[in-house]
Chains A and B, each alone.
Chain A
Amino acid sequence: MEGESRMSAETIQKTPAPGEEGGEMPAILRIRLSKKVDCEKQCPEWECLQPSQFDKVWVVGELEEGRVSEPSLQMLTPGLELAKKLYTSLEAVLIGGDREALEKAAREMIYHGAERVHIIHSEALREYMAEVYARVLAAYAHKHRPDVMLFPATMRGRELAPYVANTLRAGITADCIRFDVDEKTGDVDMIRPPFAAIMLAYIKTPTRRPQIGTARPNVFPKPPRDETREGELLWARAEDYGVPRPRSRVLRVERIEKKEIPIEKAEVIVSGGKGVGTHEGFQMLERLAELLGGVVGGSRKAVDMGLVPYERQVGQTGKTVRARLYIAVGISGAAQHTVGIRECGTVVAINKDPEAPIFQHADYGVVADWKEVVTELIRILETGEEV
C-alpha cells in the first residue's frame, strides 16, 4: 500500500456534465485549459506556473483525537460544489502518523463526498507540529498541483493554511462564507465579509494556483453520509516530500475542563448582550438555557464586559453557530453579530427598542424589557403550564 499512486495534474480529465454523455468540452474547462499568465509581469521570486497545469479541488482534513474533525467534513460541502462547477473531482488530503486513524478518517471523507483521499503518512508525523505539517503539505501540493485548496478555519487550520499558501507563493482568503466560480475566467470567487459584515467581497486569485481559502466551522453544513460510497485511497510517504526537523515540540499538555458543550455544537443557544448587563442577568439566561437543554452565548459587548467567556462570543470575530433555536436577549443585532447566526434555524429576539436591527434578523421578536419576558419564560418552562 505504501508507495504513492501517481496522478497527473497536467492532464485535466474531462468529466461529462450531469446528464451529458461525452459531448462537447464544457466552456469552463476550455477556459481553464487555455488560461495564460504573463510571467514577465510576475514577481520573479515566485515560480511562474500556468493555471492550466493545476487541477482538482482539495479539502485538507484534520484529525482531532484520532478522528476526522467535523469542520473538515463540513468543508466537503463547498468543495463538492466547486468541483462540480470546475468539472473536476473533489479530493481530500490527510496528514499524520497514525495509519489506522488516517485510514478511518479517509473513509469518512469518502462517505461524505470525497472521490479520492491522499494520505500523507510518516511515523515522524505522529505529533502535530504546525510548521512540519505545513511544509510537508506545501511540498505535496507543489508536486500534485491542485487548482483549489480548502482548509477548515479551525485553530489548526488558521495556523497551517497561511504557511502552506505562503510557501507556495499562492493567494489565500480567510473566513469565506461562500465560494463560486467565475464562468468567464474559470477563477474561484472566494467570498468573504470584509471589515464589517454588511458587505461581501469577491476575492480572486487570477494568476496564481492553487487558489486557497478557509471557512470557519459551521458556515457550511456537513454533506450527507453514505457508507456505500466508494473512493480511492492514495497513500504517500511523507519522507518523499521532505520531513523537516521539528524546531519546536510540545513539552506538556494540560486539559481545560469543560462541562458544557461548546457553543458551536449547541442545538439551543440563549445569547445575551449589553442589554442584559450584569452577572445576575446572565444567571437568569443560564437558567433559561438549562431548561431548554442549551447553552449561553453572548455578543462582543457582553464578552468585553466580562459576562461571557470569549469562546462563547457569537459573530464575525467569535463563533458561527448553527443552533436550531437562537434566542438573542438584549442584543442590538449589529452586522458583526448577526453574521454568526445566519445558519441558525429559528431566531428569537427580545429587545426593548422596537427599532433594534435584531428584529430584522429574527423570526419571532418581542419588544419588551428582557427581564420580565425571561422571568415569565422560565416560569412557564418550570411549571409546564399550558399557553
Chain B
Amino acid sequence: MSLEMMVGIKWVPNTQNVRFDPKTGTLIREGVPSIVNPADLDAVELALKVKDTYGGRVRVITMAPPSAVKGIEHVIGMGVDAGVLVTDRVFAGADTLATSYVLSQAIKKLGLPDLLFFGQETIDSSTAHIPAQVASWLDLPYVYYVDRVEEVNREEGYAVVRRKLEDRYEWVRVELPAVIAAALKSQVPRPVRLSEKLRFHRDKPLQTLTNKDLGLDPRCVGLRGSPTIVAKVTWMPEVPRKRQVFKGDAREAARWLVKKLAEEGILVREDGRWRVRVA
C-alpha cells in the first residue's frame, strides 16, 4: 500500500479586514471573505513535498459548514488528491475539545493515515490546540513545529522530521502513524493551478461525513460537547499612556524626544555621552 497522508484545514474569515460590532463585540461576518487558514497551507505544502518524494495520497479534512468546500477546492488546486468535509448542524459551536473529538472520530472512520498533518494555529482562534488534542484522542505520537520531513520509511514504520525551536533544530524520529504540526511560515505554499482545480470540478474528489455517518452522542459534540463557554465579551481595557505628541520640525522633534526620555530617567548624559540607564 502506498503512503497515506491527511491534512486538517480550516476555512476561516480573512481577519486581515475584519470588522466588529462594538455593541455586541461580535464579528461582522457579512462581506468578510474566507480563506484557507494560512498556517494550514504550510501543512498542505509539507505533505505535498512528501508526496513529491515518496508518492502516495494526500487528503484534506475539515470540520466546517458546507461553504468550506471552497477551501477544499483551493488545496486541490495545489495538488491535494481529495477532500473530506465533516459537517453537521450538531457540530456547530464547538470549542477545541469538541472539534478535535469530531475530527478524530472522522479520521478513525476513514482509517488512520500514516502521517496526519496540521497547521500550527488558526488566525481566528490561534490556540494551537487541535494537533495535540487529536493526537491525544487517537493515541498517536505528535511533533510540533516541524519545518521539514527528512525521511519517511513506511515499511519500518517511522519518519524523521526536523523541528524548529527558538534556539535549535531537533531531528526527531517518530513512529508511524504520527501527528505533525507544521511550523508557522515554514513553507512557501505552491500556487493553485487551474488544471488541478478543473479536476475538482470534473472528478468531484469530495466526501462528506455527517453525524449520520459518525453516530456521535450529541452531548459530546458542538456547543453541548464543549467544556469552555464564552461567558461575556468586553472591550480591551486601555493602558494609560501620556499621549504627548510633538508636531513640527523633525530635528526639533528628535531633541524633544531625548529631553523627554531624560526626564523619564531612561536616558542619562554622563561624560558627554548619552546612554540608557539600566534599571
Asked whether, in the complex, the Cβ of A387 is within 8 Å of the Cβ of B258, the reply is yes
Q: Digit string of A168-183 for contact with B (CB within 8 Å is 1, else 0)? A: 0111111100000010
B235 cross-chain contacts in A, Cβ below 8 A: 198-200
Which label, helix, strand, loop or mixed, suits the secondary structure of the A interface? mixed
Beyond A203-B230, A204-B229, A363-B241, whether A169 also contacts B266 by CB under 8 A is no
Asked whether, in the complex, the Cβ of A366 is within 8 Å of the Cβ of B274, the reply is no
Which label, helix, strand, loop or mixed, suits the secondary structure of the B interface? mixed
Asked whether, in the complex, the Cβ of B236 is within 8 Å of the Cβ of A200, the reply is yes
Q: Digit string of B160-176 for contact with A (CB within 8 Å is 1, else 0)? A: 10000111111111110
State the CA gap A198–B21 with chains docked (Å): 11
Beyond A162-B127, A169-B227, A202-B230, whether A193 also contacts B246 by CB under 8 A is no
State the CA gap A337–B60 with chains docked (Å): 32
Contact of A165 with B by CB under 8 A = yes
Which chain A residue lies CB-closest to B246? Answer: A366
**Interface-side segment among B45-53, B78-86, B136-144, B201-209:** B136-144
Contact of B233 with A by CB under 8 A = yes
Asked whether, in the complex, the Cβ of B167 is within 8 Å of the Cβ of A249, the reply is no
Instruction: Give, as a whole number of angstroms, the nearest-CB distance from B270 to chain A.
Output: 9
State the CA gap A59–B166 with chains docked (Å): 22
State the CA gap A43–B98 with chains docked (Å): 10
Asked whether, in the complex, the Cβ of A251 is within 8 Å of the Cβ of B160, the reply is yes
Q: Digit string of A149-176 for contact with B (CB within 8 Å is 1, else 0)? A: 0000001001111110111011111110
Interface residue total, chain B, C-beta cutoff 8 A: 95
Contact of B260 with A by CB under 8 A = yes
Asked whether, in the complex, the Cβ of B261 is within 8 Å of the Cβ of A346, the reply is yes
B217 cross-chain contacts in A, Cβ below 8 A: 43-45
Asked whether, in the complex, the Cβ of B27 is within 8 Å of the Cβ of A384, the reply is no
Contact of B35 with A by CB under 8 A = no
A360 cross-chain contacts in B, Cβ below 8 A: 238, 241, 243
Contact of B264 with A by CB under 8 A = yes
Which chain B residue lies CB-closest to A174? Answer: B127
State the CA gap A379–B227 with chains docked (Å): 58
Asked whether, in the complex, the Cβ of A255 is within 8 Å of the Cβ of B168, the reply is yes
State the CA gap A113–B9 with chains docked (Å): 42
B145 cross-chain contacts in A, Cβ below 8 A: 155, 159
Asked whether, in the complex, the Cβ of A372 is within 8 Å of the Cβ of B143, the reply is no
Contact of A130 with B by CB under 8 A = yes
**Interface-side segment among B62-70, B106-114, B191-199, B247-255:** B247-255
Contact of A112 with B by CB under 8 A = no
Which chain A residue lies CB-closest to B143? Answer: A248
Instruction: Give, as a whole number of angstroms, the nearest-CB distance from B277 to chain A.
Output: 9
Contact of A284 with B by CB under 8 A = no
Choice from B166, B247, B249, B266 contacting A155 with Cβ under 8 Å: B166
The 10 closest A-B CB pairs, nearest first, are: A171-B227, A372-B250, A376-B254, A43-B220, A247-B141, A171-B228, A166-B136, A248-B174, A162-B132, A162-B129
